[in-house]
Each structure stands twice: as structure tokens, then as C-alpha cells.
Amino acid sequence: MQHVKIPQDRIGVLIGEGGETMREIEAEAEVRLDIDSENGSVAVETVGDPVRGLKGPEIVRAIGRGFSPDEALRLLEDDMMLFDVVDIDAASRNKNDMKRKKGRLIGEGGRTRELMEELTGADVVIYGSTLGIIGAPQEVDAVRSAAEMLLDGAPHGAVYSFLEEKHNEMKHQGLEYHRFPGGQS
């Protein structure tokens, strides 16, 4: 059994309307969730396939870090799917610096975050003081590198070029993940 702590304001998302989301996670990941809505503690117990069960705590953590349940359940699509978190606060000197860096990651009108998703195929969420990533290993690596470049002060243009390059590499290697129906990525 593993214990995961998630923010209070994400408990409702984890449970879902009438417990629907919680039941879906339990069925898909073959786990049992025991949620303490008072303190945000979630006990995750594997009740079926141990390999699928290993993804249970990751799914809960991903929802806790701002992902929708559907995005978090992508972790079950493939054994290679990963969930990673970039700590914006750790890269910041103070509250104002953290706000500025968070703004750099989001971009004007959310454009930078959207480009990270479009060019890598990963899901990217900025919540609180973290940037969360769900995707295949090469997608997660590309987003993490781009985020670290932005946190280190790299110009947005350079980061966009880096992401374009990674997109083309993945496409060339046949690793392109199609996020949208009809095969547009």
C-alpha cells in the first residue's frame, strides 16, 4: 500500500461526481483508493495486476498536480508512459521570481505551454509551483528540457526552436504521438 498526499482543492476532482472518477481509476488501475478528504491523504492499494497497480499512485499524484482524470489515466495506455514534475519553486529565489518564472512557462495567453504540448505530444499542466508532464519518455524529456531552459532564462524563441527540433527528431524516428483525431499532431 502506498500513501499519496494531494492538495485539498484536488480531492473533489479525484473523487468525481458521486465517486465516479474514483471508481474509474480503481477499475482501470486495479487498485483501491482510500481517500481522507480532511487532510488530502490517499492510500492506494493494489488489488489486481501488480504492474497496473504501480500506476495507481502516479495517477493520483498527477490529478493532485492539476491533470484532469482523463489525462492522468493516459498513464495506463502504455507501460512506457511517465509522469514527471518540474519544481518551479526550487528554481526561484523568492515569490516574485516564482511568479515570473511560472509566467514564462505559461507564456502569453498560455501559448508556451500549448506549444510544449503540440510539439512533443505530452500533456503539460502548470499548477501551484509545479509543471507536470505526462507522456512517453522522449516527450517528457523534451518538455523537461524546454522548461529548464525557460527557468534558466533562455529566450522563448530559442526554446521554441529546441522544441521544433525535438518534434522533427521524434517524427523522423517514428515516435510522434498523435494527440488529435485524424492524425494531426
Give the CATH number, domain containing residue 113: 3.30.1370.10
Give Cβ neighbours of residue 128 (< 8 Å, ≥ 6 apart).
7, 65, 66
171 has a pLDDT exceeding 90? no
Residues 157 and 174 reside in one and the same domain = yes
Residues 47, 124 share a domain: no
185 vs 160: CA distance, rounded Å: 16
Report the pLDDT averaged over residues 152-159. 96
Same domain, 98 and 168: yes
The sign one gets for the Cα dihedral 19, 25, 31, 36 is negative
Domain count within the chain: 2
My answer on whether 59 and 101 are in the same domain is no
Q: Is the pLDDT of residue 100 over 80?
A: yes
Domain with 150, as residue range(s), is 82-183
Rounded CA-CA distance 43/101 in Å is 33
pTM for this predicted structure: 0.89
Is 35 in contact with 85 (CB distance < 8 Å)?
A: no
Domain stops at, among 30, 51, 76: 76
